Structure 1
């Protein structure tokens, strides 16, 4: 598994990220590597990442400038060459140790998506996320409990086929379903952010997801699907 970790100005978290992933990789039965995607950080994060990546199980991609979370995830997927892809945020509000829980179900589906039943966020963040999730479910009816949960395990061959656009990180399960993928959902642990600053606000938690939901509805109505019955190629 390649574990994608997008990084944008997370210097205060990176010592803990390194320690936590070294512990996880040492005990996990699944052979994994970590791929940091530095999204144009300006706080010294990349200098720290480059030192972490002296370890053979850690690798990096560095953007020339900030391009956003969806682009960082896409770059990680584009460069993954393993059967499975994991995704987790650098704030460690979820834990890589829960990957093993999700991996236990991946043989029966195309993606296992975590959901945060006991969130440790501020009240305002909880309200914003609930509004965004409610709007998304109403508009696209994808059946996903918590599409913003930053802990996922995906089959690489499936996720490489889905269309990408800015904001697609909110719609990975829905986009996989467009490709005929099967999704499972499992409860995962959630923790308070103890370092660094959240990159989300009322605009990119509520207003932007509403715009993206309409974009997804438009794309879904025009999505190309076909099955070949015969060919002589």
Structure 2
């Protein structure tokens, strides 16, 4: 296999109607390309998200599937961290559970990741053909323009859930609620590289979005200032030499 072991991680809340098809697509995109697993985190769903994934796993016993259920909803960033903590892969591929991210784009992310020279990096998806309302697209363009002016992380579309990050890199990031919106900037803070890959975007298959203009705008502004604070105080030493002597008995 040309790529290391991959963990596809999916945070989900009330996505029972979307997950079976999405899981099928993940399998189709990675089979024959790499060894992989899927980790789904049910973030306190009120529907049968967990049992739906269990049923899917029973009918796909050849696929390594881990399902984590939160007792109550704690948000997407915490759900992602739960998934990464359970994951075994060298590289993590994140995606939303609503079907809007297309798993067929994962091979392009893997190809871009294989070209990276840095140990810390992020391959970020850029949705070139947004299947959202004009109002939602306007909100996204406005928010991304402000974020880019402040953070200068080199990513036009930080809201795209489809990203590839080494597991070691993800676990080295400072954790806070809503951190998933700032992954490229946080990885640059580590001295890592960020590459952007154009990806497909689809309309939500079913269910309703968990976000609106108000909760995105206010929380995003507060968190962005926090990321600026973290970035300005980052220190990444360049180690010139390391020597050891003696032997352990």
Return the TM-score normalized by structure 1.
0.93
In the alignment, structure 1 residue 130 sits paired with structure 2 residue 135: no
> 2:101 — aligned with what?
94
Post-superposition, which runs of at least 4 consecutive aligned residues in structure 1 deviate over 4 A?
230-233
- Tell whether the 8 Å contact from 2:29 to 2:106 is kept in structure 1 after alignment: no
Report the 3-state secondary structure (helix = DSSP H, G, I; strand = E; otherwise coil) of the residue aligned with 2:18: helix
Q: How does 1:138-153 map to 2 (within 5 A)?
A: 138-153=149-164
1:197: how far off? Answer: 0.7
1:230: how far off? Answer: 4.3
- Tell whether the 8 Å contact from 1:131 to 1:206 is kept in structure 2 after alignment: no
Q: CA RMSD in A?
A: 1.6
> 1:10 — aligned with what?
15
Report the 3-state secondary structure (helix = DSSP H, G, I; strand = E; otherwise coil) of the residue aligned with 1:112: strand
Q: How does 1:1-233 map to 2 (within 5 A)?
A: 1-26=6-31, 28-54=32-58, 55=61, 56-109=63-116, 110-231=121-242
- Tell whether the 8 Å contact from 1:132 to 1:210 is kept in structure 2 after alignment: no
In structure 2, stretches of 5+ residues that fail to align are: 1-5, 245-249
1:47: how far off? Answer: 1.5
Return the TM-score normalized by structure 2.
0.87
Report the 3-state secondary structure (helix = DSSP H, G, I; strand = E; otherwise coil) of the residue aligned with 2:142: helix
Could you give the per-residue CA deviations for residues 126-159 of structure 1, whole angstroms, max 9, x where no partner exists?
A: 1111121112112211111111111111122222
1:74: how far off? Answer: 1.2
Q: CA, structure 1 residues 5+144, in 2 after alignment: closer, same or farther (shift >3 Å)?
A: same
- CA–CA distance in 2 between the matches of 1:18 and 1:171? 26
- Tell whether the 8 Å contact from 2:96 to 2:162 is kept in structure 1 after alignment: yes
For this pair of structures, how many residues does the alignment match? 232
- Tell whether the 8 Å contact from 1:129 to 1:205 is kept in structure 2 after alignment: no
